[in-house]
A and B are shown apart, each in its own frame.
Chain A
Amino acid sequence: MLENLRRVGIYVAVRGFLLFFTVVVAIWLVILIANMGGVMDKIIESQIREQVGLMFLNPDLQQLPEAMRRELYDRQVEILRRQYGLDRPFYERAARYLLNGITLNFGMAEKLTSDTGSKQVRLILVERLPHTLLLWGTGQLLLFFASVFFALILSRRYGSLADRLVVALAPTSAPPAWFYGILLILVFASLLKVLPYGGFVDAPPPPTRLGYVLSVLKHMILPVLAVFVNAIFASIYNWRTFFLIYSSEDYVELARAKGLPGRTLERRYILRPTLPPIVTNFTMSMIAVWMGGIITETVFSWPGLGRRLYEAIGQNDTPVIVGANVIYGYLLAISVFFLDILYAVLDPRVRVGAAGGQRL
């Protein structure tokens, strides 16, 4: 028992360390990529000079002696260089970004502000998080459960009209969600005028809580539908194929030959052994929710994280980019870590701490 605990402990520590190391490397790469290895400093500096130099179009400043104009220019450039951290070498800043990121001390953004006007990276991300979770969480949950549900049914009705229809419709998932978003807006907002074009809530927002909730739900219909319609057929097709493979396993055939009812077959002989990949898939899709969707959120004017990250990338706001990726990295690492353990619970064939093919 103690030996097992020791082995589990070592496994947990080693696995935890490796995942942490992976996160650190990933964040370092994000910092390097976001700043093009320091090249971005040159670009930002040029943009600062470009912006500051425009002040000389002001006729009032054109009246000043040239030396004074130069002094004003240099002073203003220096203030902005400092504001964007360019007064410190890139690798020094990069090390600080990394340290702040892994200790979850995100600090202040360089350019972006949160919707409420704060420069704190934490608030910049947190203010948008509920909206993203609401939209993408709802979409992914609906998608996941509907896909698995219908896939299970279809796996039992292989070759039926419904099955062939889903197979035929699977390619409809090729266009992205925002494409369906535009179509849905055209039909339901522009032509029929029954649903809003976008946004999170009516403007002005209803004063009562119930009214507010109903208004949010109304605004969610089209984006959730876009996310759902975009992926549903391919998702059903994937799961149905997955279940079909498991349905044709020998032990399932044997159980079927023994005359077990369909429900029992599904639950015990198909779902049970397929649970680890189902849980993995579910967990990964839930983590993906964290990043939102850039274009879909833009199409629906949805105040989500995806748009925020897009803005951060566009403006090279490294603390915000790092902050979002650190959270994503940690979520991913923690999920992988717990999934490893969960597999052992769900699947009797998997053992925590197994090594070299030995069962411990």
Chain B
Amino acid sequence: MRKWWAVALVTVLALGAWAQVRRGAWVDEVVFTEEPTRAKGIDMLIAGAIDIYAFAIPERDLVKKIIENLHYAVSYGSYNELTFNPYGPEFKDGRLNPFYLKEVREAVNWLIDRDYIVQEFYGGVGAVPRYLAITPSFPDYARLAATARALELKYAPNPEKAKAVIFEKMKELGAELKDGKWYYKGAPVVLKFLIRVEDERRLIGDYVATLFEKLGFEIERMYKTAREASPLWIGADPADGTFHVYTGGWVTTAISRDQGGNFDFFYTKRGRPDPLWQAYKPDPEFDQISERLARRDFKSIEERNALLARALELSMKDSVRVWCTNLVGYNPMAKNVRVAADLAGGVYGAWLWSRTVHFIDPAGKPVAGGKLRIAQPSMLTEPWNAIAGTNWIFDMMIIRGVSDYDTLPDPYTGLYYPQLVERAEVVVEAGLPVTKTLDWVDLKFVPKIEVPGDAWADWDPVNQRFITAAERFPGGTTAKTKVVAYFPANLYERLWHDGTKWSLADGLLGFILTFERGKPESAIYDEAAKSAFDTFMRHFKGLRILSEKPLVFEVYSDLWYLDAEWIAAARTPYLMPQYSQGVSPWHVLALGIQAEAAKELAFSSSKARRLGVEWMNYLAGPSLTILTKYLNENLATGYVPYANVLGKYVSKDEAIARYQALKKWYEAKGHLWVANGPLYVDVVKPVEKVVVLKNFEAFADPATKWLVFAEPKIAEVEVSAPAPVLRRGAPWDFLVEVTYKDQPYPVAEIDFVTYLLFDAEGNLVLSGKAEAVKDGLFAITIDAATTAKLPAGSIRLEVAVASKVVAIPSFATATFTVL
């Protein structure tokens, strides 16, 4: 009896402690509204009418206001470049195209001054110079920092050199310079500049056009919007010469940890099937390296880095596009608000925003509770359904905020951390250059990975059963990777927002739908899903459940990444109810499956259009009438989709209980968006453009779980020469201080500190790695024998610090004289 009392007491105490810990989100409520005017959004923030304006602002005037009045996080997802038409040397009509020659294109790198562009057109704050095909804020840049910095110095502005090269090559092409103007076959050489007008690219286009004008070219400036420019640069045959130069722009919404494919995409015919790409003629070595990088045809990280370094060099020589700027977006928020902002996607692209957003007190400590007001430039743009609904970034921000996932990406490195999953074993074929960084993944290499015959490898939509690996691959098969995903025992205790508990049926339905939507025999086949399905089937080899409670399963696949965390994160969702546009339990999706099978609604817009029915929306509108019709029917029948498989995990009574919970939810909230994240959708007013999210107090995780990601730990670096004048033949010692918010940066969080020495002409004369002395302090030691070989004169020391917890490398420079 005493024992029971003790157990009861412990339970009560534990429950009390559980209740005291804040669960779900830090804030009680998040109210989303729409504000399409950016300037007004900033004004509202300053006036205290909202707490976050969910957009990455690049306009210099607004940026100035943000810096002066608000707190902000920066993101680097957009970049601009000059796209050249390389067809030639003559277009079909006989006009000359100087950019046919790679030397002329390469010279443009010396002609333009990227710092000038940044200072003049972006006020020195809205962008950073970009020289290379890889993004300066992504991990590959940090890995290749030495090569990158050397190339940036090599291609620093040098207008005289540019002029000399261009003039020499123009003469080679048969052009003549008369009275300061270039002529070809008696006619002036006219360069067609296709200049986008929506942003600073208009200024960049004008600037570059003027530079060419000064070199004696006649310029035809064609100012166009995206829509007007599209048929001229991407739709036209480059042989027609509709343009010579186009001011291109690209956007990335997530950190890419492997940008090796950029060369294949941006510089070779394989990049895209469009006519412009088919005119690309890269140097054979560059072409081969690009393909190898894209196909990950290398055996070690060292080999990859060497290929990448060479590709960077060759891409600058090719220069079918000359990179100009990487935009810096300012994600503004009130001074008393903190939230994780993805380095590429900003606040609205951060998967962790709802888990990290919080108010702070004057001392900077997190405050629990409060109502947070977020304005977005647009919202509720398209119908919400988890399978193929809205993909608008602003809608996805809300959807991700109310969803729970197996893993979540670190907004500053792009590496995945476990959320629902506990740990994973990643087994890869020996020889693949896969590495791991985080402890939740266990990485192993084996000579061969056999796929077990009883693993599920396909789906039969007619008989509604899984096809085993033995059936699909009668002779047996192997895979390049195997991931064993381990989930905690309390997975089944986790709740959906309508109060129902997580079930394996939720996860299995997701797996079944992967096949069902891609197979023509299925009632819910969608041709729009076929491409993704075909791609999936090329690498998917099998899935096997090893344990149901706790859930453990293994996935076999041929697709692999450089990071073991990425391989794991790609496989662990296979039995999770996660879809392209959110999460959804089986009983909610069942209504949509029934509606699509009956051709009354469709998950995807293209199928809806083909059937002449509504695109399915779980939030509002005519879809709800149809979906609730099935809800009411299912309440009576206890319908379970794909009962052959899911029936094993859901009884009729359990199904009815789920539908009852959903009915109750619908009656209370007026919509059918049931998810499982730290916030839930409480109110939706689609016409008024208001969405209210509330804290899901039954969420299993404490609010503190992801708080460490609320701010990027970008290192601050200082380096100085021991003396202004150093002597050759003597040892040199430099100290590098690395801090974050004036505190020493832990050595454990530093990937490497590398240094580069450049002579007065910008040539790289020495590079190496600094040694850690203690937290926040690194030493660069160059011995006497080495310094004796260095040239005399002005020397520049560049130090690059790559952190393990944030992808952006930090740089510091010191200049000294060598005698």
Contacts and interface: CB of A to CB of B under 8 A. Distances in A.
A196 B43 CA distance: 12
A113 interface: yes
B47 A190 contact: yes
Nearest to B266: A57
Nearest to B612: A108
B11 interface: no
B623 interface: yes
B49 A189 contact: yes
Interface string A69-82: 11011111001101
Contacts of A96: none
Residue among A68, A116, A190, A199 with the highest chain B CB neighbour number at 10 A: A116
B304 interface: no
A193 B373 CA distance: 16
A204 B683 contact: yes
A203 B373 contact: yes
B49 A201 contact: no
B37 A298 contact: yes
Nearest to A53: B272
Interface stretch (B435-443, B516-524, B528-536, B543-551): B528-536
Contacts of B258: 59
B33 A193 contact: no
A108 B609 contact: yes
A115 interface: yes
A318 to B, nearest CB: 14
Nearest to B31: A203
B273 A53 contact: yes
A43 B261 CA distance: 28
Given A79-B606, A203-B33, A117 B273 contact: no
Interface string B555-578: 000010100000000000000000
Contact of B685 (A46, A62, A117, A205): A205
A158 interface: no
Nearest to B39: A182
Interface string A10-45: 000000000000000000000000000000001101
A127 interface: yes
User: From DSSP, what is the main secondary structure of chain A's interface residues?
Assistant: helix
Interface string B237-276: 0000000000000000000101011101100001111100
Nearest to A55: B531
Nearest to A72: B531
A43 B231 contact: yes
A114 B228 CA distance: 26
A63 B531 contact: no
A109 B517 CA distance: 24
Residue among A56, A189, A203 with the highest chain B CB neighbour number at 10 A: A203
A83 B605 contact: yes
A117 B382 contact: yes
Residue among B44, B531, B610 with the highest chain A CB neighbour number at 10 A: B531
A120 B614 CA distance: 8
Interface residues of B, number: 73
Given A42-B235, A116-B621, A63 B687 contact: no
A287 B527 CA distance: 44
A93 interface: no
Contacts of A82: 606, 609-610
Contacts of A61: 535
Interface residues of A, number: 59
A105 interface: no
Contact of B689 (A42, A50, A115): A115
A117 B623 contact: yes
A131 interface: yes
B617 interface: yes
A62 B262 CA distance: 10
A120 B623 CA distance: 12
B235 A119 contact: no
B619 interface: yes
B122 interface: no
Contacts of A248: none
Given A62-B264, A117-B619, A56 B272 contact: yes
B692 A203 contact: yes
Given A43-B230, A76-B531, A205-B685, A118 B606 contact: no
A228 B690 CA distance: 27
Contact of A301 (B260, B561, B615, B689): B689
B819 interface: no
A193 B683 CA distance: 26
Given A42-B235, A189-B47, A303 B687 contact: yes
A130 to B, nearest CB: 9
A227 to B, nearest CB: 18
A66 interface: yes
B731 interface: no
Interface in B397-442: none
A197 interface: yes
Nearest to B297: A63
Interface string B57-81: 0000000000000000000000000
Interface string B112-124: 0000000000000
Contacts of B231: 42-43, 45-46
A197 to B, nearest CB: 5
B31 A70 contact: no
A49 B235 contact: yes
B264 A199 contact: no
Interface in A154-203: 185, 189-190, 193, 196-201, 203
B808 to A, nearest CB: 21
Contacts of B621: 114, 116-118, 123
A123 B625 CA distance: 15
29 contacts: A43-B228, A49-B274, A62-B264, A64-B535, A70-B273, A72-B535, A82-B610, A83-B609, A83-B610, A113-B615, A115-B689, A117-B384, A117-B614, A117-B619, A117-B620, A117-B621, A119-B605, A127-B687, A189-B44, A197-B49, A199-B33, A201-B685, A203-B33, A203-B692, A204-B683, A204-B690, A301-B34, A301-B36, A301-B689
List 7 tightest A-B contacts by C-beta distance, closest first.
A116-B621, A117-B617, A46-B235, A117-B383, A46-B230, A116-B620, A53-B272
Given A116-B620, A117-B614, A118-B622, 7 more contacts: A59-B256, A63-B559, A66-B270, A76-B531, A117-B623, A197-B43, A200-B689
Interface of B: 31-37, 40, 43-44, 47-49, 226-228, 230-231, 234-235, 256, 258, 260-262, 264-265, 270-274, 294-296, 373, 380-384, 527-528, 530-531, 534-535, 538-539, 559, 561, 605-606, 608-610, 612, 614-615, 617, 619-623, 683, 685-690, 692
